[in-house]
Amino acid sequence: MPAFMTSAPGKVIVYGEHAVVYGKAAMAAAISLRSYLLVSALDKSPRNITLVFPDIGMEHCWNINHLPWSAFSHPSKKKYYYDLVDKLDPDLVEAMQPYLVNVSPKASPVDKKLHQNAASAFLYLFLSLGSKNFSGCIYTLRSTIPIGAGLGSSASICVCLSSALLLQLRTLSGPHPDQPADEAELQIERINRWAFVGEMCIHGNPSGVDNTVATGGKAVVFKRGDYRSPPIVTPVRDFPELPLLLVNTRQSRSTATEVAKVAALKKAHAAIVEPILEAIDKITESAYDLVTSSAFDPKVSDSVQIFGDLMQINHGLLAALGVSHPKLERIRELIDSMDLGWAKLTGAGGGGSAIALLNSNASPSNLQSLQSKFVEEGFEKYETTLGGEGVGVLWPAVLHHDFEDKGSEQIDQAAFLNAKGVEGIEKLVGVGVGASEKREGWKFWSNAGPHVNKERAQKPISE
């Protein structure tokens, strides 16, 4: 089997933070910051699998023959690629523990937990989908998504792992231009289901929204009225690709603290807070109606203006709930004062990140001034695109250049490991953004068939 790559995006919540906790709708969209996984086969000897994740300083090797296959292959426990796994088997989790305790033993407690969580997700998927006859491989992960910033980095990684293992099993076909839409959707569903299993290994009880966006791309509207049931997830198949600034305040925050803050405010002022939550729900509903309307055109300033206005109103309501932060307000102030677009917090607030939708006529000099201010005040800026592709594959791991004299370039592990930062990774293996900028070689599954823009009925799906 040749070396190959898989890739999946991160995500941001565009509308509906905090209201979603109370059964209201929220909208999340893929961003062009992505994770990339390079799978390199080894010779028959040694029969080892190695997980390498240099961005978090992790590397660990397991002997395939020594893994707990007897537990995972027992008739009462065995799962197949087409099965739905909605909870982890505690016996299988226990069987993995001896193979996790030696992962990064000298790392700090925080790093050790991060590394062991990644190893846990990888091993559970490998043992569930693989077999003792698998060839030795090196699985090398790189990510351009800030880790621990609420941007779906773990889900993106789990989608990369899930799709790679399913490809190694040869249970996925395509993606290719003539692939029937129903076949593509079935394969997306299988990738998503197993990515969710990886997310359970890391987070315990994830919502499933992050892996759904990372698998299918574009955007989803989700609502969870009853926390004993999975969320209702409605894909927004024609969500437009829009230029976005993602700004990390570098201000630590606790999601639990911010959620508790809103709960206390609601308890003390129910008659005031409930209408705010209802208004946020209406914003999400309005945004969905806007982007699914035949009249919406992301190249027309009036359409973008409405989208941006909804972002700013949403932020104002979140600020009224007390979940903003002076650093988030400073980012909004800078963008507003330079007339560059519309900004809001994304995620739980209290710090974390802000997103900004840029004006198409934003002044280059003002954008440069904004960058200088961000550096001066300690903010970290990422230029990204909202509403991009989901899971993709580069098979084999060879990129074709636009320039004839450069021809094709095989991606090997050394080059992948040595790529420096976001720019280095994107330059080497990046999928590109925008229909005219997609790099030749990368192919993507799509809810409407691979790169086929069909009008399909919107239907809620439940994970």
> Which residues, at least 6 apart from 233, have a Cβ–Cβ distance to it below 8 Å?
208, 209, 212, 220, 221, 222, 460, 461, 462, 463
Looking at this protein, which amino acid is placed at residue 166? L
Answer for the pair 34, 144: CB distance below 8 angstroms, yes or no: yes
Give the H or E element holding residue 181: helix 181-203
Residues 197 and 43: their CA atoms lie apart, in Å, by 29
- Count CB-CB contacts under 10 A for residue 407: 9
Which secondary-structure segment (H or E) carries 260?
Answer: helix 255-268
Catalytic, out of 210, 226, 238, 412: 210
Beta carbons of 28 and 233 less than 8 angstroms apart = no
412 is catalytic: no
Residue 135: both structure tokens together: 């060839």
Classify the C-alpha dihedral 197-199-205-209 as positive or negative. negative
Per-residue tokens: 149: 């910033």
Distance of CA 123 to the CA centre of its chain: 20
Coil, strand or helix: which one is 255? helix
Task: Supply 210's token pair.
Answer: 């992050």
Which tokens go with 153?
């980095």
Burial track 171-181 (b if 16+ CB lie within 10 A, e otherwise) = ebebbeeebee
Residues labelled catalytic: 210
